[in-house]
Amino acid sequence: MRSATDSVLQPSDEVVEAMAGGAPVVALESTIISHGLPQPRNLEVARELEGIVRAAGAVPATIAVLDGVPRIGLNEVELERIATESGLRKLGQRDLPMAAALKASGATTVSATSFLAARAGIRVFATGGLGGVHRGWTDDQDESADLDTLARTRITVVCAGVKSILDVPATLQRLETRGVTVAGYRTDTFPGFYLHPSGQPIDWRIESPGDAAAVMRGQDALGGQESAFIVANPVPEDQQLDPGLHDRILAEALAAAERDGVKGQAITPFLLGYLVDGTGGASLEANLAAVRGNTALAAEIALAWAKP
């Protein structure tokens, strides 16, 4: 792994200074800005999440690719560009060489953000929910690239579980098979993204940011596979989407996708969009509540990790 001064990457001055001084840094993805929220709220949320990190005493590093160059930390002009520029691509890890060669611009998904953060030497990453195994996998074998990237990238990801449109039990099984460590943050049940619980038990539980940092040190001390550590942090129960509404609208969304033949890369935005519309925006608010909580926790973990 190379440092943030690697010429392939372009870190912001703030990130360079923080990394050089051993200060805590938290990576943030940019897909939620460009593809996940309407304007102008997307820019407001981007600034808010960076503010949460700074308020905790850490440095935010929102990651994106602009004109083919991976940017590790965005200035105000670059953040506005991600929030407002039309035609930005959605970039997974596999897309990064193409974007570099063709000087394309795009927002980074979990897989691309994890890879670039780790390449820059950043250890902690906050996001909403991970990708995973899609429902009906036995027919279409549709599985997010997030899982492969996390199986070979030493990064700590704070998330609210995996998106509830997915096959959650199958995703947990795949994470186990691929050797990705998963722990619930103050919970024995895997979070359900929009919902506080998914109903799936989780093998390990941690109680504090210090516990997370200790696990990270244990990963490094033991060596072996360079896999991720997933800190599964549930959305607060009083801010979750109403479970009955969630289940009803998701069933309608899945039926609509089946009827319209929506598959592959189109299925996730289709289902998430259907949930936003069908819940009158309540699913979006639950998503944002989860992202805020994950960002705050990630900053605390980064602070604990930065302590000698």
Which residues participate in the annotated binding site for substrate?
Answer: 90, 110, 144-146
- Please report how the helices 282-306 and 209-222 are oriented relative to each other, as an axis angle in degrees rounded to 10: 60
Annotated binding-site positions for Mn(2+): 142
Q: Residues with Cβ < 8 Å from 114, sequence gap 6 or more?
A: 27, 93, 125, 146, 149, 150, 153, 155, 157, 228
Annotated binding-site positions: 90, 110, 142, 144-146
Q: Residues with Cβ < 8 Å from 118, sequence gap 6 or more?
A: 1, 153, 154, 155
Burial (CB count within 10 angstroms: exposed 0-12, middle 13-18, buried 19+), residue 152: middle
Q: What is the 3-state secondary structure (H, E, C) of the chain?
A: CCCCCCCCCEECHHHHHHHHCCCCEEEECCHHHHCCCCCCHHHHHHHHHHHHHHHCCCEEEEEEEECCEEEECCCHHHHHHHHHCCCCEEECHHHHHHHHHHCCCEEECHHHHHHHHHHCCCCEEECCCECCEECCHHHHCCECHHHHHHHCCCCEEEECEECCCECHHHHHHHHHHCCCEEEEECCCECCECCECCCCCECCCEECCHHHHHHHHHHHHHHCCCCCCEEEECCCCHHHCCCHHHHHHHHHHHHHHHHHHCCCHHHHHHHHHHHHHHHCCCHHHHHHHHHHHHHHHHHHHHHHHHHCC
Q: Is 103 a catalytic residue?
A: no
Residue of 50, 143, 163, 300 marked active site: 163
Q: Is 29 a catalytic residue?
A: yes
Residue of 29, 50, 143, 300 marked active site: 29
Catalytic residues: 29, 163
